[in-house]
């Protein structure tokens, strides 16, 4: 979450496997309590937004407007969605004196803290003992058990789906897509699920594409199923994968 010292401090570069153990405990009363929630860049995935907007009981569009910064990325169809910090003290809007007000639905980086994951399947610390006093505590965790306790599995599953989209979008033929409508539709389908649901059910979408009736019932009220459906739709519409069939089209072709 704070890469400024990454190349200098061994705490950031020491790689650990799932069987490694580390010391950490965070609790109200520790001197650095919630400091890690201040003046940090936390990138939100579509699943993060899904969990947070539902935890707050507000529509996707309202969450995006109030609590995020949407930053365009050069040569990329998907922008970077950052959790907005409070203007007065640069703290996360959801931090209270007692801790995180949305703890059960906190984003992936917050769940992982004080760890981060590398592409090679190893883990490393994102802070050091001078900044995070919780690393000086005596409580010991095995990384594999820690990840399970933090509920990382479903986040990793959804992150893999996101990566399957973003990785393909880095291929040269997709880097040069400049149609703003395509970018807008992709962003809506992933980050603004309430609008995407309206698009599916209130446009000609279901008149044109064959979708199994069981799937239709699932995506009507289940945001997680709708998000998975959105990934399939992008892979069909943008990458040409046979995730759907146009009605009256031979499905065996």
Neighbours of 86 (CB within 10 A): 13
- Could you read off the pLDDT of 233-252 as tens digits, one per residue? 999 988 888 888 898 765 55
Instruction: Answer whether residue 1 shows pLDDT above 70.
Output: no
Residue 211 backbone phi and psi in degrees, to 5: -130, 130
Stated length of the chain: 253
* Closest residue by Cα to residue 24 from 120, 186, 147, 170: 147
The domains of the chain are located at 3-40+85-150, 153-246
Dump pLDDT digits (tens) for 131-174: 999 999 999 999 999 999 999 999 999 999 999 998 877 765 56
Confidence band for 7, pLDDT divided at 50, 70 and 90: very low
Nearest to 112 by CA among 155, 159, 150: 150
Q: What is the mean pLDDT of residues 114-125?
A: 93
Q: What are the pLDDT digits (tens) for 48-86?
A: 999 999 999 999 999 999 999 999 887 778 899 999 999
Mean pLDDT, all residues of the chain:
89
- pLDDT-derived band at 13, boundaries 50, 70, 90: low
**Residue 16, pLDDT above cutoff 70:** yes
pLDDT above 50 for 107: yes
User: Which residue, 226, 220, 239, is CA-closest to 191?
Assistant: 226
Residue 17 buriedness (CB in 10 A; 0-12 / 13-18 / 19+): exposed
- As a whole number of Å, the CA-based R_g of the chain is 20
* pTM recorded for the entire structure: 0.89
Convert the pLDDT of each residue in 175-213 to its tens digit.
Answer: 566 677 888 999 999 999 999 999 999 999 999 999 999
Of 16, 1, 11, nearest to 123 by C-alpha is 16
């Amino acid at each position: 979450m704070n890469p400024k010292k990454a190349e200098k401090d061994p705490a950031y570069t020491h790689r650990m496997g799932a069987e490694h153990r580390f010391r950490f405990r965070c609790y109200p009363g520790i001197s650095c309590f919630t400091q890690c929630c201040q003046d940090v860049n936390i990138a939100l995935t579509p699943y993060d937004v899904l969990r947070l907007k539902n935890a707050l009981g507000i529509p996707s569009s309202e969450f995006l407007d109030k609590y995020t910064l949407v930053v365009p990325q050069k040569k990329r169809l998907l922008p970077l969605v950052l959790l907005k910090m409070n203007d007065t003290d640069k703290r996360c809007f959801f931090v209270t004196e007692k801790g995180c007000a949305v703890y059960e639905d906190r984003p992936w980086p917050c769940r992982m803290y004080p760890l981060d994951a590398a592409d090679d399947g190893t883990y490393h610390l994102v802070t050091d003992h001078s900044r995070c006093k919780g690393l000086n505590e005596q409580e010991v965790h095995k990384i594999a058990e820690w990840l399970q306790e933090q509920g990382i599995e479903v986040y990793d599953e959804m992150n893999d789906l996101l990566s399957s989209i973003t990785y393909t979008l880095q291929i040269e033929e997709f880097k040069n897509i400049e149609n703003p409508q395509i970018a807008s539709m992709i962003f809506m389908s992933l980050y603004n699920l309430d609008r995407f649901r309206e698009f599916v059910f209130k446009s000609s979408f279901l008149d044109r594409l064959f979708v199994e009736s069981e799937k239709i019932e699932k995506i009507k009220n289940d945001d997680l199923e709708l998000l998975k459906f959105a990934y399939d739709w992008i892979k069909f519409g943008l990458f040409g994968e046979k995730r759907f069939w146009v009605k009256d089209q031979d499905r065996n072709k």
